[in-house]
Every structure is written in C-alpha cells, then in structure tokens.
Structure 1
Amino acid sequence: MTRILNPILRGFHPDPSILRVGDDYFIATSTFEWWPGVRLHHSRDLVHWRPIGYALTRTSQLEMLGNPDSGGIWAPCLSHDGAQFYLIYTDVKTWGNGEVFKDAHNYLVTAPSIEGPWSEPVYLNSSGFDPSLFHDEDGRKWLLNMRWDHRKGRNAFAGILLQEYDPQQKRLVGPVHNIFRGTPLGVTEGPHLYKKDGWYYLVVAEGGTTYAHAVTVARSQRIEGPYEVDPCYPTLTARGHPELPLQKAGHASLVQTQQGEWYMAHLVGRPLEPPQALRRHCPLGRETALQKIRWSPDGWPRLWHGSNTPALEVEAPALPAHPWPKEPERDDFEAPTLSLHFQTLRHPPDPSWLSLTERPSYLRLFGRESLSSRHRQSLVARRLQHFYAEAETVLEFEPQHFQQMAGLVCYYDTGNWVYLRVSRDEALGKTLSILTCDNGHYDEPLDGELGIEGWSRVYLKVRYQRDTFGFAYSANGLDWSEIPLRFPAYKLSDDHCRGLGFTGTFIGLCAQDLSGARLHADFDYFVYRGLE
C-alpha cells in the first residue's frame, strides 16, 4: 500500500490551501515577508509534490517595503470556479511588538491557469485576516475572513465574517454576517467553507498557531448560519500529546479526489527537543502535512485512523503514482532567472541590485542595506528543509573597508541571524568573521577576525546537525577549516524569535555596503544538500 509521508512540504510551508482541478492537485502556502508572494506546489497523486512557482510576482500585486517581520502574506486561499483560478490573500502591514492593531488588507487575483498570468489585485476589505472565497452551487461567491477587534477587554478574534462578492462589479456587496464566534478553544481564524450533502461545512483554525493549535468544524444548512459545532471537536490537534512527532497541527483545508476520497491539508511543526522539554522549538518552521478523512454516519469529518491526532504516515489515494524528477543539489546560476527555491526579502530582484547576466554563470549582488533593514536588503535565500543539511558557496569579493560585507547567512528575521561574512579590517586587510543577532542583540563571537588577505575566492559552508550548526571555509574548495563555534539551531525558530514569528530558518547569500557605494559580490554557485 502506498503511503503519504508527512510532512509533504518540508521546511517553511504554513497555512496550506489545497485544491483539485481535474487530475491536478495544488497547494498554496503563506510566504509572509518573503518575495515572491504565495508559494505554489503541484501533485498528481498527493504523495509526490513539486514547487511550480508563485502567484504574486509584481509590485502592483504586492508591495512589502517596510513590512514588519512575519508580516506580508498571511494564509492565502486558492480556489477554482470551473472557469478560472481565484487567489485570496492578506498583506499585513502592522502587527506584533505590543501593537493592538492589525493593518491587514485583503485582495483577490485571478488567472486562467495555475501558471498565470495572475491579474492585478482587487481590493476587498481590511476587517481581519485569513480570507477565503467560496463558490456556491448557485453561482454566487462569498468571502470569509476572521474579524479583528482591537478594543481592550474584548475577544480580539471576534468571529468569522461572511459577505457576498460580485465578480462583475469586482467588489463586496450586501450585508456582512458574523456566522461563527468560535469555541472555548479561542483564537478562531483560518476559515474555509465547503458544501456536501446539502450542508455548509465551516473549517476553522483555533487555539493559536503553536502547541495548542487545532482544527474545528461547524455546519449549517444555510450559508449565513447558525452553525452548529461538531460535538467531537476538535477534528484535529496535537494538543495534550507532546509525544507526537508532529506538533502544532491546525489551519486546515479539504480536498476530494477523483474517486471520492477526502483528505485534509494542515500545518504542523516538528520540534527539536524531546516531549519532556520545558520549551520546544521548530527551526524548520511550520510545514504542510496531509491526513485522510472519512465521514461519520451523522455527517462529520473524522481522521481515517480513528483519533484526532496527526499521523506521520497516511494511506495514499487510489491514484497512479506520479513522481517528479529529482531536483539538483547544485545551482551554477546559469539560468536567466533565480531557482524557484530562492526568495528575496520584501521586494523583487531587479538589475539595480541582482544580476545573473553581468557576469555569466555567477550571481552578482550589489551591496545595499544591513541585515536589520526592512526595506532594501540584497539577500537571496532558500528554506532549510532538513534537520541535517549543508549549504556551500564560493565568493569573489574585494571589500575596501569594514562597511562592505558579503557572505553566507543563516537567517530568520531582521533581529535573528548568524552571518559568516567577508569584510576588511584596517590592520588585517581582507578578513572572515561571524556576526550574530539574537532577538536584536548583536555580537561578534569569534575571538578576532580571520585574515584571508590575498584570497581571490573564499569558499564558505554551513552544516546543520539537528541541534546545532557550524561553519567552515576554504581557499580552494578542497581543504576546509572548521570554525570552532557551534550555534544552537533553536535560536532561528518561531518559538525563540521574540515568540512572535511565523516563518522558519533560511540559508542565504547576501551583500551589504553601508557606505552607499553598492560594491558588488559574485557568487559562483550554491549547493543545498539534505543529509537525512
């Protein structure tokens, strides 16, 4: 029997919205401050998945300069009405750091195919986040989103709103209905609506997107409600089961196969620490998993294996196996565009700061702002997707002074990173050193900088060994010197980074020129290799 091995999308892939169109399955996930916006994956059998691109690729669709860490794209919803694709998304401009307000703007784009082109956005509302679109059998379309209540002493998660969307007028019309205020689990968000056997099923996330996360289902025979809660809620959770390898289970969406089988896509986290640890951390971020669903005799969705906890292995649907070609570990930057695995921060790459053509087969980055900037960083990075992994590059860079830097960075957000960088010291000349930032606290943990004057090429490597990671360097790519420092992997996780993050560890190439001269750095290749 073929099995689905969870998580199906490893590394930072939260808030999955799953959709079937014909024989093809798609998942859209949140990208937060990483550009492009809304990552898309494709499968034919629910077992094998491949990235196929992003939906939001123009600044007219998404402008994130200045957005806060873990702001930007929250919880997209992908749907299809038989004629075209619809994507609903939130761009979060304000949240966290003591803010009681959430400036969260909801938009709609459409496309004739999953590859696009995706349209210019239609503004919908700003009353809350996690929007989704439901296409009813009568042709009407309905927007749902949670409602944010900033007032002191109130439940901030103030219910799930429903309003009709008119595609001809390209705007919301008619009354706003608050159709569901949640259960005692609280933090009611992430709504998705489905219709089956005359019932409207409302699937919501509850409990908060950490270790109390859950999926709750309610239903009604009228779209406006009232909605009754599944008497056996929550439908899915790892809450109270620290022994499970998959934690944080919640924020789900449903899909039906061609043969009538049902599956639930949901987010999970895999902690480093054992169940008895006082605090647990997930540096890979929130990932995507699948569970098989059956329907109870009285019409409620239940997990196939009989409990309401997430399973590592799940029975696959009765579909022909459809594996994809293995992706290469090495990128020699010979393509005209960046690999789909690479993303940038808040803004798209353009020739003013990134070039794949000025020096063929090299990635050229022009130094811009610091790793603490929320505006114009020259950083290209990919997700860490394995507990055991290594990444390697080689850098050609001739800094003139200490304000010019380039190298290899393990990055979570503007306040949390570990940076192996090449720069220049007045006495030593060209140097290699490590800079760190831990919840905003800057440090230089090496006892002095390493002199590499005269090196035309500097090979850089990072290796993850589950709990810790460390760096090495080389002049020729063959003889490596280990830097005698190990860094805790947990410090680049949602759970550590101010306790408010929603992304995960990235490994990136970057360049800074704090003088404004925009000195360039050339990277010859990038290798990412999972070691598990």
Structure 2
Amino acid sequence: MHYRNPVISGFHPDPSVCRSGEDYYLVTSSFEYSPGVPLFHSKDLVHWEPIGHCLTRPEQLDLSKAWTSGGIYAPTIRFHEGMFYMTTTNVSGGGNFIVYTDNPRGVWSDPIFVDQPGIDPDLFFGDDGAVYYSTSWDRDGQGAYQSRIDLRTGQRLSDIKLIWKGTGGQFPEAPHLYRIGQWYYLLIAEGGTEYGHMATVARSTQPDGPFESCPHNPILTHRSLQRPIQATGHGDFVQTPDGRWWAVFLGIRPAGYPMRHHLGRETFLAPVTWTADGWPIIGEGGTVADAMPADGLALRPLPAPAVRDHFEAARLSPAWTFLRTPNPPHWTLAEQTSCLTLHGTPSTLNDGGTPAFVGRRQQHFACRASALMAFDPQHDGEEAGLTVFMNERFHYEIAVTRIRGERKVVFRRRIGSLWKVENEAPWSEASIVLTVRADREQYAFGFASGDDREPFWFGRGECAMLAAEMAGGFTGVIIAMYATGSGSAARTPAHFDWFDYEALD
C-alpha cells in the first residue's frame, strides 16, 4: 500500500510534529496570515484534519507591523507530561515565544516570550528536567544556538552557546533535538529554503554537544536532481507506537520550465531508516517520491471536505484565513443569515495593509473557486470580489466596483510595478457568481448571474506570474473574498452567500 505526497498540500511550510498516544499533531508556519500556526490532527501521519490554530487572539498574535512574508516563522510542537507546547517566532513583533495547552483542540495560553534571539526555535525536554531551547542565529557565525530556559517565565538559565554550524551550506536553521538511544541527534536545514535545500544531522552524547556531523550528510535533498518535488528540507522526526521513525518536511512542486512554484511550500512525509552505524536517512537514500510505501502505517482516510461553505456555522472553519490582523467590524457572519459579510476598509490589495479579506489556500493545481456575491456599490472606488493573491504586488482579481457613477464588473492584473484593468463590463443585477478556474499554467476568471449558468469567461492570468520565483517571499497563493473602499471605508457591505472550492486534479 502506498500514500501520496504531499500529505498537506498548498501553502503549509516548515512542518513540526509530535505524538500523544496514537494521535499525531502537526503545525506549520503562517507568516502574515491569521489565525496563526495552523494545527492538524492525524491517526496515521498521512491523512491530516485541520482542527484549528494555536494563535487565535490579539494577545497571542500581533501582525500589525508584519511585512510581506513577515509575522510568524517556523514553529515547533512538542508533547511532554500531559501538556502540548508550541514555540515560534513573530519576526515582526516580539521575537520567540511559547504557548501551551492540555487540549490542542481547545484554548492555547498567552505567550511566554523567551530571552533568546534567532528564529526557528526548538524545545527539548532533558531527562534531568532541564529544558533546552535552540534557535537559528548568526552571532558568532550562523548555526544552531542553545540555552537552558525556565519554561514558566522564558528566562534563560544558562548562556547561549553555539552547538553546531552545520556542514557548510548557507543558512543553517530549523534545529530540532532528539534523544534516541544513547545519542542526542540534532537535525537542521541548510542550503536555503529554495532549490539548494537539504536536511543534515549531527549527534552527541550530551544535549549541548559537542556534535559530530553525519558522514552521510545530507540525509535529505533534491538539489541538482530532475524531480517533480524540489527544495526538500526543514524536517522534523516522530516515532510511531511500533518504534519506527518518520519525518515530515517541506518541499515544493514546480510547474513548467523554468521551474516556478505558486502553491507554496507544502508538507511531505517519508520514512526514516537507520544505517549500521546509527545514522538516520530520510526516504529512499535521501530522496522522496509522490507515491511512497506506507510500511507500518494503518491508513485511515478522512471524508472529503465539502465543496461549498454556506457560512451557516457560528464560526469560520479552520480553512479560512485573514491577511494580517483582522478588525472584527470588517467581517461578520451575523449580519445576514447564512452569509459572510465584508465591510470594505480603506486598504486595497495593493497596500500591504489589512483589507477586508477572507481567503483559503490554493491546494491543487487544477481547481475551481466560486462565490455568490450581492454588492451594490454607491460610491466610486467601492469594490468587492474574488482575488487570486500572492502578495500586494502580485495578484489577480475579478470584482464588482463603481467607476464614474456606473456599476461594473472588472478583471484586473497586478504584476510588480505593472497594473492594468484588462476587461470591464456594465453590471446591473443584484447578485453575481464570480468564478476562478485554475490549471497548472493559467487562471481563468468568469462571472454569471446564477450558479446554474456557465460563466462568461472574462480574463486570464498566468500562474507563473504569481510564483515565488517571480513574486518573492515564503507563502503561496490564497484565493480570497475581499472588499475595499479604495482609500476610505466603504459604506456598502458585500454579502457572500456561499463559497465553493473544488479540486479538479
């Protein structure tokens, strides 16, 4: 029996995993999006159910100053003595911190900020009760730095010590420390998170070193290989109840040539095997495939998610995300029954601010997203619709707006400093169905007066123009409903009756 990679598709990078009994929990980075740190549950390491986020309150997550691909960087999740701990870095506000809970599906604590600089923090609980905190830093040369901390206060109990510089690859980061048998293993990422990415490992008889490098490094990489999966690295180990070891890690799936990826960095899974001299190797000699043997895993598939969200629940599902820190008056599920309402803010999609924006990750190359929207703008500049969004300088949108007193449907493209309304047409009906259809190469944008009608296709945009290789950053495409007043608060709300996301792969 085989499973398919990635195990969590779309923009879900920097995975970290822990086990409690027969349950696995996994977290990923979220950058400038909120809620922060998506949280997943699994029974088999392959099928992952989104169950919420670790950072859901303003006290936990301040993204008011988050730049593009700023905000929340790589998290680590660990389970120790009945408690779950998650540590991460808010690079735009506060640095490294820890939150904890005894129920990962429930409420996580307020943050405990840690007196140690760097990014990509790791928690390790020593046999002697000491708590070791490791980060990526470049104080005395880039590498993994470590101190012992007071878990209750975040204060350091020892000096910060450089424990390993890696094997010489650029950007040694994402340290994770494990006790396996007589050894302490230190897993890191090197080579940068692009096409030179790799995972390397060292070991020691003490948690603070000295560490010796594995003679087989890198233990995971696809650099210089012609594979459909690229940029593999930034991993974390977990042991199953039967004693086997597995690794989760990030990778990308570029489309076309030259290679470009727009879905973002995704979460992959591979087995860990051990050499005769006690060193780990990830996958098949350090490489992975889209189909991998599920040896030792009792696969438990999950029901397929519903295509349509009718917005009937009291809360949005975990699939939905906001750009930076949302202001609650700008969106609501309570204004109209079974409806998401957006009140446009002065910010536009071009501003790097906080527009009224509720989106979900694009998780499949071929997919269709549609929404039924009622919107009657009363003032020029008021606008609402659907956007395919990479960042404020790279996005496409189809929307209803008011131009010189006339209500219109428009299709617009923003590619770096180039900006153009590609198409526009008058629109007088009370509601509109907006549709985005994607394949590996292009997005098509259309509209109709009802969901039982084929869209009138109104414009197209290349996927490659929204790829990270073009747009920069560490995120992936978000398909979102949005509203704006284009410099002032919109007086007219946009009501979204439903939203569809359907995989066509």
Shared fold (TM-score, shorter chain, > 0.5)? yes
- Residue 117 in 1 paired to residue 117 in 2? no
2:493 is matched with 520
Asked whether the equivalents of residues 411 and 458 of structure 2 are also in contact (C-alpha less than 8 Å), the reply is no
Question: 1:142–1:164: 8 Å Cα contact kept in structure 2?
Answer: yes
Work out whether residues 104 and 129 of structure 1, in 8 Å CA contact, stay in contact via their aligned partners in 2.
Answer: no
The TM-score with structure 1 as length reference comes to: 0.92
* Residue of structure 2 equivalent to 1:380: 358
- Note closer, same or farther for the CA distance 1:129–1:104 as it changes in structure 2 (3 Å cut): farther
Partner of 1:507: 479
Correspondences of 1:486-497 after superposition (within 5 Å) = 486-497=460-471
**Alpha-carbon separation, structure 2, partners of 1:160 and 1:303:** 21
Q: State whether structure 2 residue 439 is matched by structure 1 residue 456.
A: no
SS at match of 2:464: helix
Contact 1:46 1:317 in 2 (8 A): no
* Preserved contact between residue 3 and residue 293 of structure 2 (Cα < 8 Å): yes
Cα displacement string for residues 327-357 of structure 1 (whole angstroms, at most 9, x for unaligned residues) = 101001101111211100111452x111111
Structure 1: distance between partners of 2:221 and 2:194: 11
Offset at residue 187 of structure 1 (A): 1.1
Runs of 4+ in 1 over 4 A off after TM superposition: none
The 10-residue stretch of structure 1 (160-169 or 250-259) with the greater mean CA deviation from structure 2: 160-169
2:194 alignment partner in structure 1: 210
Code of the residue aligned with 1:192 in structure 2: it is H
Counterpart pick for 1:445 among 422, 430, 435: 422
Contact 1:265/1:289, CA 8 A, preserved across alignment:
yes
Structure 1 residue aligned with 2:271: 292
Q: CA RMSD in A?
A: 1.6
For the residue of structure 2 that corresponds to 1:131, the secondary structure is strand
Q: Residue 390 and residue 493 in structure 1: after superposition, are their counterparts in 2 closer, same or farther (change >3 A)?
A: same
Name the counterpart of 2:120: 130
Q: Give distance in 1, aligned partners of 2:432 and 2:116.
A: 48
Q: Is the 8 A contact 2:112 2:153 kept in 1?
A: no
Alpha-carbon distance, 1:373 to partner: 3.1
**SS of residue paired to 1:490:** helix
For residue 167 of structure 2, the aligned residue among 172, 183, 186 is: 183
Are the equivalent residues in 2 in contact too, given 1:396–1:457 (CA < 8 A)?
yes
Query: Given that residues 21 and 80 in structure 1 are in contact (C-alpha distance below 8 angstroms), is that contact kept between their aligned partners in structure 2?
Result: yes
Contact 1:122-1:171 within 8 A present in 2 as well: no
Matches within 5 A, 1:147-162: 147-148=137-138, 158-162=142-146
Partner of 1:13: 12
Indicate the residue corresponding to 1:311 in structure 2. Answer: 289
Task: Report the residue type matching 2:333 in the other structure.
Answer: L
Q: Which amino acid aligns with 1:301?
A: P
Q: Distance in 1 between matches of 2:303 and 2:267?
A: 21
Which amino acid is 1:267 matched to? L
Tell whether the 8 Å contact from 2:381 to 2:403 is kept in structure 1 after alignment: no
How many Å apart are 1:22 and its aligned residue? 0.5
- Which residue identity is paired with 2:425? L
Local SS of the residue matching 1:361:
coil
Pair 386,91 (structure 1): closer, same or farther in 2 beyond 3 Å? same
* Contact 1:127/1:148 (<8 A) preserved: no
User: 2:450 maps to which residue?
Assistant: 476
Q: 1:304 Cα shift?
A: 4.8
CA deviation vs aligned residue, 1:114-165 (integer Å, no higher than 9, x gap)? 113211101114521111101112221110001145xxxx95xx22110001
- How many residues in Structure 1 have an aligned counterpart in Structure 2? 503
Alignment of structure 1 residues 40-55 onto 2, 5 Å: 40-55=39-54
Among 242, 248, 261, the residue aligned to 1:265: 248
CA drift at 1:66: 2.6
Matched, 1:172 2:156: yes
> 3-state SS of the aligned residue for 1:491?
helix
C-alpha change, 1:337 and 1:440, in structure 2 (3 Å) is: farther
Contact 1:16-1:265 within 8 A present in 2 as well? yes
Kept after mapping to 1: 8 A contact 2:484/2:490: no
Residue of structure 2 equivalent to 1:98: none
Q: Distance in 1 between matches of 2:314 and 2:334?
A: 7
Amino acid at match of 1:520: P
Separation in 2 of the partners of 1:58 and 1:409? 26
Which residue of 235, 238, 254 maps to 1:252? 235
1:223 Cα offset (Å): 1.8
Question: Gapped runs of 5+ residues in structure 1?
Answer: 94-102
Q: Provide the residue aligned with 1:96 in structure 2.
A: none
Q: Closer, same or farther in 2 for the Cα pair 1:325/1:128, shift >3 Å?
A: same
Output the CA distance in 2 between the equivalents of 1:330 and 1:182: 47
Query: Contact 1:104 / 1:126 at 8 angstroms: preserved in 2?
Result: no
Q: How does 1:221-260 map to 2 (within 5 A)?
A: 221-241=205-225, 243-260=226-243
What residue is the counterpart of 2:403 in the other structure? 425
Which sits farther off after the overlay, 159-168 or 49-58? 159-168
Q: 1:405 aligns with which of 376, 380, 383?
A: 383
Q: Please state whether the residue corresponding to 1:495 is helix, strand or coil.
A: helix
Pairwise CA distance, 1:484 = 4.7
Q: Could you tell me which amino acid in structure 1 is paired with residue 478 of structure 2? A: F
Aligned positions of 1:333-412 closer than 5 A = 333-348=311-326, 350=328, 352-368=329-345, 369-412=347-390
Q: Secondary structure at the residue paired with 2:250?
A: strand
Distance 1:376 1:81, change over 3 A: same
